[in-house]
Structures are given as structure tokens and as C-alpha cells.
Amino acid sequence: RKEVEQDPGPFNVPEGATVAFNCTYSNSASQSFFWYRQDCRKEPKLLMSVYSSGNEDGRFTAQLNRASQYISLLIRDSKLSDSATYLCVVNGWGRDDKIIFGKGTRLHILP
């Protein structure tokens, strides 16, 4: 099983719709979880951290399910500017652990 797995997509979604992505991770000792956004030919940028209790930032909601070892990202009222690749990121605990990226899910918002 890969350390971090995502559906590569692409997800083609009409503007204004709601879209959700899941990401599974294999290391049950993982401690920190993030969603990054990457635009074409740019570096990844932090979209939001994922907390155990779930968290929301405007139109974006992130959830963590430790029992099933997955995190999710929900985007409501999608905008054209949301078109990007969304990378799931998992980090361990302590200096010996490393940040692992999923391969990303491509999202295309259609006008």
C-alpha cells in the first residue's frame, strides 16, 4: 500500500458545484495532515491544515478520520479560480519522520 494515495482525477466540475476529495494514508502514527494547492508549473502552497475535530475555512472544509486513515477536502460553491491540483500531505512525529505527498488530484472548474 502506498504511503499516501489520492484519486488523480481529473475532476471536471461545473462552477458553483460542490466537490469532495479523499486521501488515504498508510502510517497510523502520522500526526499532521495538510492540503496543499498547486497551480500549473508553480510550487505547492498550503491550503489548510487538517485537525482532528475537522476545520473550515470559508468554502473549504477538511476532515480527518483516524480510524479509517483518511482525510477529506470539501469545496463548496466552486469558483473557476479553484482549478488546480490538490495535494494531500501527511507528516509524522519527531525529527525522524518526513513529509509525504500524495500524487495530487486535478480539479477543473467548468464555466
Partner 1 sequence: ETGVTQSPTHLIKTRGQQVTLRCSSQSGHNTVSWYQQALGQGPQFIFQYYREEENGRGNFPPRFSGLQFPNYSSELNVNALELDDSALYLCASSLPGGASTEAFFGQGTRLTVV
Least distance between partner 1 and beta carbon 22 (Å): 15
- Please, is 38 exposed, middle or buried when counting C-beta atoms within 10 Å of its C-beta (0-12, 13-18, 19+)? middle
3-state secondary structure 2-19: CCEEECCCCEEEECCCCE
94 Cα distance to chain centroid: 22
The residues in 49-78 that bind partner 1, with binding defined as CB under 8 A, are 49
Least distance between partner 1 and beta carbon 87 (Å): 6
For residue 23, state whether it binds partner 1 (rule: CB under 8 A): no
- Could you tell me the sign of the dihedral formed by the alpha carbons of 25, 106, 19, 44, in that order? positive
The residue from 46, 66, 80, 108 that contacts partner 1 (CB under 8 A) is: 46
For residue 30, state whether it binds partner 1 (rule: CB under 8 A): no
Site residues (vs partner 1, CB under 8 A): 6, 31-32, 34, 41-46, 49, 87, 89, 91-104
